[in-house]
Structure 1
Amino acid sequence: MAISVAPGLSLQEAELVFTYILASGPGGQNVNKVATAAQLRFDVVRSPSLCERTKARLLRLAGSRATRDGVIVITARNFRTQQKNREDATERLATLIREAAHRQAFRVATRPGRAARQRRLDGKAHRAGIKRGRKVRGEE
């Protein structure tokens, strides 16, 4: 089954490896007995779903969550059930991939046209005239 990340981009569920570990936090005695925290591992370098540019950006964005081998490790322990923590980890990975796949629109620097420059100068001259009109004659 495929996990949809963005339009035209999806991950195969086989690319995600889940392990479950003991979690701290809410759960009472259950916390000591049941491994509810989900640890998601995603091998970015060997993933066929991502292009090279997205892979490089993803590893940079992941920061300390990425290992030297190019594997992203996300630990989710906010919820009391394995299923909810699994969904949380998957969503966090999807958000990270979405951010890495997003292409930044570059602004092309342009210069103001002749009419815009003239409007600016006209505005400055008008403002100077207003200030000149406030001057009291003979008190200088």
Structure 2
Amino acid sequence: MSISPEKEKAIAERMTRLGISEDDLRETFVRSSGPGGQNVNKTSTCVHLVHLPSGLFVKCQQDRSQTVNRLLARRLLLDRIERLKTGQISAEKARTEKIRRQKRRRSKRAQEKTLELKHRQSEKKKLRGKIGGEDS
């Protein structure tokens, strides 16, 4: 399976725009796993791509073709580098950390404190009841 020259050109333009050269990348090929039969078992179609200056890496085995996986790996790596340069990664990390904190179970002490505050509030509300008796 071949890749269109337009896609290759787009990747090359994006790499130059981000200031990344082919020398900055280390590309290795390993055997894929999963569906694909004999082709996957015999050939090294999984692409492991490392950006040496930043240390970022991606592993791509989405397709049975090594050439397609090479393009997809480059695209994924460029996405990550772009997010790193624009500062989106820190925003994403902050968002995921916030969600993790929200989902985390509260400590016993925090639960007791919340219950105590609720009891106090209910006591205050009880005091707001009618003062006089029933015989008005």
- Provide the TM-score with structure 2 as the length reference: 0.50
- Residue 86 of structure 1 corresponds to 70
Identity of aligned residues (%): 30
The answer on 1:21 being equivalent to 2:21 is no
Aligned-CA RMSD value: 2.6
Q: 1:7 to 1:37 in 2, by over 3 A?
A: closer
The answer on 1:95 being equivalent to 2:104 is no
Size of the alignment, in residue pairs? 79
After TM superposition, what 4+ stretches of structure 1 lie above 4 angstroms from structure 2?
none
- Provide the TM-score with structure 1 as the length reference: 0.49
Tell me the secondary structure at the aligned position of residue 74 of structure 1: strand
Higher relative contact order (CA 8 A, sep 6+): 1
Note the C-alpha offset of 1:25: 2.0
Contact 2:57/2:77 (CA < 8 Å) preserved in 1? no
Alignment gaps of 5+ in structure 1: 46-70, 105-140
Note the C-alpha offset of 1:8: 4.2
The code of the aligned residue for 2:72 comes to D
Match of 1:5 among 2, 6, 14: 14
The code of the aligned residue for 2:77 comes to L
Tell me the secondary structure at the aligned position of residue 19 of structure 2: strand
Note the C-alpha offset of 1:36: 0.3
The code of the aligned residue for 2:78 comes to A
Higher strand share: 1
2-structure distance, mates of 1:34, 1:8: 33
